[in-house]
């Protein structure tokens, strides 16, 4: 029955039926009413949590000595190539601006297209290395051929420190003074190792040299790099001892390289373990 028919019979008309109205979203004066779809979408939304990633720090491996000509640069270059051969990105940092032995050697290496290729650069100050930690896995540092304040600062900031020495007492006792200086600077004794380099074949001299180091609680790598003309030829062409043509020389040099890398890995692992414990504590 329509509204007019109801009025003619004296009945009250029915109220108008209005369509159901859905409240419109309003951000002014009243609360916002989200749609069901919006509620469901928000329920399944997962906002990623931003975590602060610690800055990557390259391992620093330093080679130093009290004087030049004892094999410091030889060992630094060998370590750099051995690390790069593992697939690590390596920077060879030459802190001897006057000699630039590393730079000349690397120029020969690049000219011959030898692999793995290395990045090498000359540095004068430690602070210039700070911005390079994120670019490399390892920074191998070849210092000047004498001890100074800059070298001690570099050593204090390094993960591993290597000192070359022969079996001769003329090389060994100056090396002991260098180790004493490093310890006074705060370099951890377990992060320092002697690498016997340019040695002769005397077993007696080797035993005496190792005995002196043992009495002074100084670590020495078990392998030694002998003095051979074949190595000199390899170095002159941008190669390391492990890349020499002679297989016997390659084997001797590789044994030293492996010993250095094992020491680096051990020291770095111990250092990282100490940092994690300190962070948890």
The domain ranges of the chain are: 59-280
Q: Is residue 183 scored above 80 in pLDDT?
A: yes
Report how far residue 224's alpha carbon sits from residue 221's, in angstroms, rounded to the nearest whole number. 7
Examine the pLDDT at 221 and tell me if it is beyond 80. yes
Mean pLDDT calculated for residue range 46-73: 78
What angle, 0 to 180 degrees and rounded to 10, lies between the N-to-C axes of helices 101-111 and 72-85?
Answer: 40
The band of 40, judged by pLDDT with boundaries at 50, 70 and 90, is: low
Give residue 165's pLDDT.
95
Among residues 194, 209, 197, which one has the least CA distance to residue 163? 194
- What pLDDT score was predicted for residue 16? 54
- For the chain, the C-alpha Rg in angstroms (whole number) is 35
Task: Kindly state the percentage of the chain with pLDDT values over 90.
Answer: 64
Q: What is the pLDDT of residue 177?
A: 94
The contacts found for 199-204 with CB under 8 angstroms, 24 or more apart, are: 199/166, 199/167, 199/224, 199/225, 199/226, 199/227, 200/166, 200/167, 200/226, 200/227, 201/226, 202/167
What average pLDDT does the segment 234-242 reach?
A: 97
Q: How does the average pLDDT of the chain come out, rounded?
A: 85
DSSP 8-class letter at 229: H
Look up the CATH architecture of domain 59-280: 3-Layer(aba) Sandwich (3.40)
Residue 46, pLDDT score: 58
pLDDT band at 115 (very low <50, low <70, confident <90, very high): very high
CA-wise closest residue to 140 among 189, 94, 98, 187: 94
Give the C-alpha distances (Å, rounded to integers) separating 188 from 13, 133, 171, 177, 271. Answer: 100, 21, 22, 15, 10
Cα distances from 66 to residues 109, 147, 226, in angstroms, run 27, 6, 20
Per-residue pLDDT, 159: 96
Decide: helix, strand or coil at residue 262.
Answer: helix
pLDDT > 70: what percent of the chain? 77
Question: How sure is the predictor about 271, in pLDDT bands with cuts at 50, 70 and 90?
Answer: confident
Query: Torsions phi, psi of 150, nearest 5?
Result: -65, -40
The residue written with tokens 């370590």 in the block is 79
Cα 229 to Cα 81: distance, rounded to the nearest angstrom = 21
Residue among 225, 243, 247, 223 at smallest CA distance from 234: 243
- State the Cα–Cα distance between residues 52 and 198, nearest whole angstrom: 48
């Amino acid at each position: 029955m329509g509204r007019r028919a109801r009025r003619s019979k004296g009945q009250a008309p029915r109220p108008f039926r209005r369509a159901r109205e859905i409240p419109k979203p309003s951000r002014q004066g009243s609360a916002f009413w989200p749609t069901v779809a919006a509620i469901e979408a928000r329920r399944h939304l997962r906002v990623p949590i931003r975590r602060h990633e610690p800055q990557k720090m390259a391992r620093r491996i330093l080679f130093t000595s009290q004087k030049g000509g004892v094999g410091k640069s030889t060992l630094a270059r060998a370590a750099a190539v051995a690390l790069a051969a593992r697939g690590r990105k390596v920077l060879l940092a030459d802190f001897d601006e006057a000699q630039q032995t590393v730079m000349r050697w690397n120029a020969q290496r690049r000219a011959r297209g030898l692999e793995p290729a290395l990045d090498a650069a000359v540095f004068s100050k430690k602070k210039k290395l700070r911005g390079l930690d994120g670019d490399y896995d390892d920074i191998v540092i070849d210092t000047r051929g004498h001890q100074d304040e800059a070298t001690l600062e570099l050593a204090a900031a390094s993960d591993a420190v290597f000192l070359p020495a022969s079996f001769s007492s003329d090389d060994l006792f100056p090396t002991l003074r260098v180790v004493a200086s490093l310890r006074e600077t705060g370099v951890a004794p377990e992060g320092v190792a002697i690498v016997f380099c340019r040695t002769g074949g005397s077993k007696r001299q080797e035993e005496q040299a190792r005995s002196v180091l043992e009495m002074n609680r100084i670590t020495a790598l078990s392998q030694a790099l002998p003095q051979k003309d074949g190595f000199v030829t390899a170095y002159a062409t941008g190669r390391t001892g492990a890349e020499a043509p002679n297989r016997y020389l390659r084997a001797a040099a590789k044994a030293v390289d492996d010993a250095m890398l094992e020491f680096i890995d051990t020291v770095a692992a111990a250092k990282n373990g100490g940092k994690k414990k300190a962070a948890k504590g």
